[in-house]
Amino acid sequence: MHWRLIDDPPHNAFYNMALDEAISEAVRRKLSLPTLRLYEWIEPSISIGYFQRISDINIDYCRRSGYQVVRRQTGGMALLHNSELTYSLSACNDLEPFKGNLIKNYLTISNTIVSALKLINLNAQIISSKNRRQRNPYCFRISSYGEITLNGEKIIGSAQKRYKDGFLQQGSILMDSDAGELSKVLRMGGFSCEVGTIKKYAPSVSIEDLKKALKEAFEKTLTIEFIHDGPTEFELNLARKLETEKYSADEWNFKHR
């Protein structure tokens, strides 16, 4: 079975979210193959979950710092995108690995990513119990069933958007983190957060090493073969439209106060 792998250059926050949605739309229409997109951010940016309150974010500080703030299609809580590799996976519900419910699909992807981390000598684990901790505005302070940890620290933050005919999953794999900057973004004075990062546990591993491991693990675990390609003309046109009309608009980004 062939899938598409898009190894994208860095883009701004609004366009990154717009392109993920455009690719998901094309895949669900069967205009494009199931797609794994790997990408970075052209500058430090903040993304917040679909249902998250914008009041969790210090907007004045973000504007002074030049950080774009964008609301994702997927759920979860806030992320500071800086030193990381982001992935998005778009697929249809009738695809063999993903004919189950949300939890089963999430676990399939988590198991695949765990296999990738093991290829770079990181013995990550999947959480097998539900977490009942209080709400926290930072994604990596909340670990729930099916998520990936290393030595008890969450190392990947992922969330999924379900449609009747498919889904989009987005995830952030931290290469490094900056707790001090995060405390300013999230209005959390004295913020201290121990999270798992690639640099912390495998300092010699590069983003290119991580991309290679993800490709190998997806192909082996899901019995697929990737075709390296870029977005189609349909996806690029839709992404530009979504960037302008949706993801860069306050009506979308500030709608939950």
Q: In this structure, which amino acid lies at residue 205?
A: V
Active site residue 139: yes
Catalytic residue among 62, 92, 139, 193: 139
Q: Measuring CA to CA, how many Å separate 53 from each of 75, 79, 180, 232?
A: 12, 13, 21, 34
Please check whether residue 198 is in contact with residue 210, taking contact to mean a CB–CB distance below 8 angstroms. Answer: yes
Indicate the helix (H) or strand (E) that contains 71. strand 68-71
Q: In this structure, which amino acid lies at residue 76?
A: G
The gap between the terminal CA atoms of the chain, to the nearest Å, is 44
Q: Using CA of residue 8, residue 167, residue 112, residue 121, what is the dihedral sign?
A: positive
Residue 15 and residue 214: Cα distance in Å, rounded?
23
Catalytic residues, by residue number, are 139
